[in-house]
Amino acid sequence: MPEVTLNTKNFNLDVGGFAGFFGGEEAVSAMQTVHLYRARRWTGWFNSPGSYSVGKHYGQLANSRFWDGMFPGPNIEPTVYIGLDGKSGPLYVASQSGTFLKQTGHLAYLLMQRCKDQRAVIVEGRRTKANKVTILEMPDIKFDADTKTRLTIHARDGFHKHVAMFPIAASIATCILCAWGDDWYCFSLILLGILVNGISCFIIGSASIVLQSVASSENAPPGDGMLMDGNHAIVVRGKEKNVLAITQGKFQLEYKPWVRMRVRKMRNRRIVGDGFRNLHLFGGKDAESGSETQNDEDAEANNEYGAIGFCSLLLVIQFLTQLLLIPQGKLFGQVMFLTSFAVSWAYNLFLSSMDAEYLQEELLVQALGLSEDRMTTYKLGTRTTAAVFACLTLQPNCEHKEWENKGFKPEEILRQFIPNDTHVWTVWRNQVLEQMRSNKPSLQSLDLEACGDRIAAFNDVDKNLLSDLLLDARTAYKQYLVLQVRSRSLVSSISSDNMKAET
């Protein structure tokens, strides 16, 4: 029987052709987690695949004529480009301040998604289409003392740094084995990949995440209000400055000055007579009139992010170098290079499988101090029950005669849920408002007999509908009374704990 042999003397694994493209999407997605985990920027020292994709993707952040020519694309701020901003939030209606926002921002969107996924307390009662209402008690946010509208967020810790030891160890080991096998081409290319990816992770991930809010007046009324998205509403209660952090605040990435490398762009032309005359970039005098240009007024400062552009250039150079020099290596070195790629790709796949939106929700909850006892979600059987329950939780702690002075309009809150203006709904709203004004636990106003002559012209169908709606209101009122009892017991327990601590 003839002997079968494998001749490997002239055999090469041409892995350079896909060195920069293989695993590109995973590498880009993995890089987006670099700001969300503590010490993540220090764990990029491995030979990662997809260098060309990462370079072309993040090169668009660099903003100058040179970088725009090399990496064409829209110059979007890093916060939006990386996904920390840009989502549209739900409708917001304030119950006292009169604020009405048809669309909020990214933080309100994250909060809404968080509350939708939260386990809900099921409220017994009539059921048609379930609605959820989350009661959120906003804590007092400790903004930075120098600005009072800025809060530095510390990234969360995670076990990713332990998993990162595998690609780092694999890249270093394969690099050493290539040197041991006297394959200096593959040794240098693996080492180049380690250095370039490590530098890129360090520079791109060097920004700190900041929650930037807007200033509020010290005499502003409470910021109580509702975030509404379909069948889910969040009742937000707290000071105006704390609520503004949710409704109008946003995440920002703050890079060091050496990363931003600000470029000052100014108008360098002036209309004189029928034409234009060039002026010096940073100021000067008109050659004929001798008047100085007002460059300070026309100046516009932009962030160039030249350091990020430099990283992207290094990643593209890495791809081209690997493409040209990998075929020059030995078979053993090419296998080692491919092995380092495979382990790094698996790690990138692990990072890209994480839900970046969930990680942002965790950062927001951690930064604002929103513990579970401050966020309680209730699942109510009908929209009318949800409307009454939300309206009750938003009413100020005062007599109904003072509602107008405080800007509280319960009818408008009910209309945000149910804008219907038929006779049945009008009577139902009047009965609910009458019960809220009386504030009696007997709930007499929520009986069909209490409607009196207002339902004299109703047929049986209308009466049955109104009876169901009033039953929903009674369900909401009973749950609200339970919530009040729990709140009082919680306040009394906190007060007793404080007294014990003082003694």
What residue type is assigned to position 280 of the chain?
H
What CA dihedral angle connects 22, 25, 26 and 27, to 10 degrees? 80
Please tell me the chain's helix, strand, coil percentages from 3-state DSSP, rounded to the nearest 5. 50, 15, 35
pLDDT at residue number 165:
93
- Tokens at 369, concatenated: 């101090």
Q: What ranges in 117-164 are assigned the alpha helix state H?
A: 160-163
Of the pLDDT bands very low, low, confident and very high (cuts 50, 70, 90), residue 262 is low
SS3 361: helix
User: 380-404, pLDDT tens digit by residue?
Assistant: 999 999 999 999 999 988 887 888 8
b/e burial code for range 437-472 (CB count within 10 A of at least 16 → b): eeeeeebebbeeeebeeebeebeeeeeeebeebbbb
CB 307 within 8 A of CB 53: no
- Report yes or no: 233 and 134 within 8 Å, Cβ to Cβ: yes
pLDDT of residue 352: 87
For β-strands 100-101 and 91-94, DSSP reports them as antiparallel
- Assign 14 a pLDDT band (cuts: 50, 70, 90): low
* Alpha carbons 322 and 470: distance in angstroms, whole number: 73
Provide the pLDDT for residue 445.
Answer: 81
d(CA 375, CA 372): 5
* Residue 323 in this model has a pLDDT that exceeds 50: yes
When pLDDT is cut at 50, 70 and 90, the band that residue 292 belongs to is very low
Residue with tokens 């020292």: 45
271 vs 308, more confident:
308
Contact between 46 and 340 under an 8 Å Cβ cutoff? The reply is yes
Say if residue 498's pLDDT is above 50.
Answer: no
Q: What is the CA radius of gyration of the chain?
A: 32
Residue 484 has pLDDT above 90, yes or no: no
Strand ranges inside 129-173, DSSP E: 131-137, 150-153
End-to-end CA distance of the chain: 97
Q: What is the pLDDT of residues 64-116, one digit of tens each?
A: 888 888 888 887 888 988 889 989 999 999 988 888 899 999 999 999 999 99
